[in-house]
Amino acid sequence: MKLELGKVFIKDIQFADITKVEDGVLYVNKEEAEQLVLEDDKLIDCCLEIARPGDSTRITPVKDVIEPRVKVEGGGQIFPGIIGPVSPPVGMGKTLALKGCTVVTVGRIVGFQEGVIDMSGVAADYCPFSQTVNLCVVIEPMEGLETHAYEKSGRLAGLKVADYLAKCAKDVTPDETVTYETLPLLDQIAQYPELPKVGYVHMLQSQGLLHDTWYYGVDAKQFVPTIMYPTEIMDGAIISGNCVAPCDKVTTFHHLNNPVIEDLYSHHGKDLNFICVILTNENVFLADKERHSDMVGKLAEYLGLDGVIITEEGYGNPDTDLMMNCRKVEERGVKVALITDEFPGKDGKSQSLADTTDSATALASCGQGNMTLNFPAMDHVIGTQEYIESQIGGWAGCINPDGSFEAEIQIIIASTIANGYNRLAARGY
Amino acid sequence: MWDIEKVVLVTNNSKAAEKYKDIFDVHVEKDYESVLLKTRDLVYSGFSLLTHPQASSLKPNQTPVRSVLLYPQRAGDQHGRDCLLAEDVLHVYWQWQEIAPTPDDYREAVRNDFETIDLSMIDGAAGKLGV
pLDDT given at position A239 = 97
Q: For chain A, what is the mean pLDDT?
A: 95
pLDDT at B26: 98
User: What would the mean pLDDT of A103-119 be, rounded to a whole number?
Assistant: 89
Helix A147-167 and helix B108-129, axial crossing angle in degrees, nearest 10: 90
Residue of chain A with shortest Cα separation from B67 = A284
A154 Cβ neighbours under 8 A, 6+ residues apart = A63, A64, A105, A107, A109, A139, A243
| A-proximal residues of B, 24-63, CB under 8 Å | 49-60, 62-63
The pLDDT value given to residue A348: 84
Which pLDDT does position B44 carry in this prediction? 97
CA B73 to chain centre: 17
Q: Is pLDDT of A298 > 80? A: yes
- What DSSP state is assigned to residue A225? P
Average pLDDT of the segment spanning A312-330: 96
Q: Is the ipTM of this complex over 0.85?
A: yes
Task: Give percent of chain A above pLDDT 90.
Answer: 89
Q: Determine if the pTM surpasses 0.90.
A: yes
- CA-based nearest distance A409→chain B, Å: 14
Residues of chain B with pLDDT under 50: none
Q: Considering only CB atoms, which residues of chain A are within 8 Å of chain B?
A: 110-112, 147-148, 205, 207-211, 221, 242, 244-245, 248-249, 282-290, 314-318, 320, 343, 345-346, 350-351, 354-355, 370, 390, 392, 395-396
Contact A68, A165 (CB under 8 A): yes
Q: Rounded CA gap, B84 and A354, in Å?
A: 12
Ordered by start, the domain boundaries in chain A are 2-411
**pLDDT tens-digit series, residues A79-92:** 999 998 999 999 99
Banded model confidence at residue A361, pLDDT cuts 50, 70, 90: very high
Is the model's pLDDT at A210 over the cut of 90? no
Q: Kindly list the distances between the CA atom of residue A52 and the CA atoms of A10, A370, A377, A401, in Å, as whole numbers in the listed order.
A: 12, 27, 17, 25
* CB within 8 Å: B124 and A285: yes
Over residues A17-68, the pLDDT tens digits come to 999 999 999 999 999 999 999 999 999 999 999 999 999 999 999 999 999 9
Catalytic residue among A243, A326, A366, A398: A243
The pLDDT score that the predictor gives to residue A165 is: 98
Residue range A294-304: mean pLDDT, rounded: 98
Nearest Cα to Cα of residue B53 among B8, B99, B86? B86
Number of domains chain B contains: 1
Residue A202 has pLDDT above 90, yes or no: yes
